[in-house]
Amino acid sequence: MKLFATIYTDEDVSRLVATLLLARGFDVMTTSEQGMLSKSDSQKLAYAASMERCLPTHNRVDFERLHLDYMTEGKQHSGIIVIPQKNAYEIAQRVAILLNTLTADEIPNQLLYV
């Protein structure tokens, strides 16, 4: 059992956010590292789910729709964290607070806002 959720950042999230979260001890992968830059949001969410990683994104509209689709279809994902467009340090702080508050078992299938 994992205590902390692992992360798979969407490409619209700054690489600096991933670096800052890595520095705080979180397990972070990025879409660019995984060769997923040209993939659709649906493919990225499915990939994150297959890797059991929550997905922070700025893309609220598309991922709210995908979350609803997953719930309607009875599919599972590993969590979506919707983050506002702020500076990388504030984003990393908000995500870290969330990940330090919720265990890895509490995030799957949740649409969370920070």
Mean pLDDT, the chain, integer? 94
Is the pLDDT at 3 greater than 90? The verdict is no
CA distance linking residue 49 with residue 92, whole number of Å: 21
Report pLDDT digits (tens) over 41-80. Answer: 999 999 999 999 999 999 999 999 999 999 999 999 999 9
E strands of the chain, at which residues?
A: 6-9, 28-30, 53-57, 80-82, 111-113
As a CATH number, domain 6-113 is: 3.40.50
What pTM was estimated for this model as a whole?
Answer: 0.94
Domain boundaries, the chain: 6-113
Quick one: CA torsion of 13, 105, 77, 8, rounded to 10 degrees?
30
